[in-house]
Chains A and B, each alone.
Chain A
Amino acid sequence: MSRPPAGCAKEIRTEAEGPVGLITLNRPSVLNALNHPLMEGLVGALEDFERAPSIGCIIITGNAKAFAAGADIKEMDHATTAEISRDPHLSRWDRVGKCAKPVIAAVSGFALGGGCELALACDMIVASETAVFGQPEINIGVMPGAGGTQRLTRILGKTRAMEMVLTGKRMTAREALAAGLVNRVVPVESYLEQAKKLAHEIAAQPPMAVRMAKEAVLKALDVDLDAGLALERRLFYSLFDTGDQKEGMRAFIEKREPKFTGK
């Protein structure tokens, strides 16, 4: 493991706004093409925020013009199958989808290829009206390789995912909203603000309950209903050892606002 401490990689910027950790992809001159140093920095920052007890929710964003326009093609155009499969780069992507804390993608402009896959690996997406989503890999002789075929299919269903992946056609923000790909579409001037609002709302919730609920929702996509229901019940029971459960339920009975402590 040799990665720079989070916030050091110039390819990303990190910032904590109270309980919200903000990670900004910072290669604007190349529309945030996701090269190795950027992904390394992103995963490092994500892990740091995941460990920090003060952080309750994480946002990944780019800039108004591009969330991320894709992987950095120049890093791989000459690679052979043997070389590309030895490269640890793509396995880094798995970390994004496995973060224990909620991750929101605040997307404006291009979310194409790897950029689309990065957004899909997050738990929620707040999109600006200018956002466009797409998996154009087919146009350059390959296919999505960082979760696109799996996550798009789980969200859109087979038929729509197939069309996107096989034609490389883009989806506008409003189409994405109608398809259930994004949580909301807001004016471009305020997408980050709206994402922060949502993040602060989630960060104010009892963290153990948030964590268990996230785990349960993610599992719903992977296991059969009986297994999912059994897991849900176990996680539900496990929350009864937390102070926040006691406080939350007592506050409800006493008709007052709960004061969660994260214990």
Chain B
Amino acid sequence: MTGPMKTAAQPELLSERSNGVLTLTLNRPEVLNSLTVAMLAGLLDSLKKAEKDPTVRCVVLTAAGRAFCAGADLGDLRARQAQGAFSLGDELRLRFNPLIAQIRKIEKPVIGAVNGLAAGAGASLILSTDIKICAEKAVFINAFSKVGLVPDSGMTYFMPRFMGLSLALEHAWTAKPISAASALHYGWVNRVVAAEELAAAAAEIAEELAKSASLALGLTKRAMNRSLDNNFESQLEYEAQLQEILGKTNDHQEGLGAFLEKRAPKFTGE
């Protein structure tokens, strides 16, 4: 572990549970929540536990203070580079990639609530979430080119898929900041709200999803993930296989019954 350790009362990563929603808050506001090794490990660990915990039905990822996340802690990185035997490739393989992969893999909705600046790996972190709600003052910066690197942590996977190749390359090459309004226009984020409404807006959608048929939401995420790499025929067959599985669930029967009886369904996740 490197970087200053927080006291127990003020950890680098806050974790809070309510109504089936797990909220994870990056909490190093004094350094714009730049990511330390401990934070990355903490996020991954929390998401792995959430995956297995049936009482967690939705995850919100947000941050404390004026920024969401300035990316990797470059000071910490520099210090470790100076110690020698340092591989940026392994840094990604061991610390960043597993976290990004876990966000895509966990079969529960992950909502990114972007309270401010999201730069570098911080922007990647948001792009990897399922639904993004963004404060008006939020701004995305893809400044890897300014330090002579390629965008990483999934950025080159997500960017062309969200905004098309031309805009993706322009933003990656010029590091031009993307405002909340542009992010909405590009389809990077689902909606933009006033900063003071961000938490409520994220909680609202999170709680709604937490009440939904969780297996169906999970397999929908699996199918959409797969769709990004799949051809049409295979995707049709994949949908058929997932439907066969869900067709046998109680939630499907409950949903059908509720629809026919014109009442609100009560899903149990079974």
What residues of chain A have their CB less than 8 Å away from a CB belonging to chain B? 186-187, 189-190, 193-194
Contact = CB atoms under 8 A, between A and B. Distances in A.
B241 interface: yes
Interface in B205-219: 219
Nearest to B242: A187
B221 interface: no
A186 B245 CA distance: 11
Given A187-B242, A190-B245, 7 more contacts: A186-B241, A187-B219, A187-B241, A189-B245, A190-B241, A193-B244, A194-B241
B222 interface: yes
Contacts, number: 13
Contacts of B241: 186-187, 190, 194
Interface of B: 219, 222, 238, 241-242, 244-245
Nearest to A189: B245
Pick from B238, B241, B244, B245 the residue with the most CB of A within 10 Å.
Answer: B241
Contacts of A186: 241
Nearest to B245: A189
5 contacts: A186-B241, A187-B222, A190-B241, A190-B244, A193-B244
A65 B142 CA distance: 39
Pick from A189, A193, A194 the residue with the most CB of B within 10 Å.
Answer: A189
A193 B232 CA distance: 24
Nearest to A190: B245
Contacts of B242: 187
B240 to A, nearest CB: 10
A148 to B, nearest CB: 27
B93 to A, nearest CB: 14
Contacts of A193: 244
Nearest to B229: A174
Contacts of A194: 241
Contacts of B238: 187
A187 B243 CA distance: 11
A187 B241 CA distance: 7
Contacts of B245: 187, 189-190
Contacts of A187: 219, 222, 238, 241-242, 245
A113 to B, nearest CB: 24
A255 to B, nearest CB: 29
Nearest to B246: A189
A193 B219 CA distance: 17
Contacts of A190: 241, 244-245
A36 B191 CA distance: 60
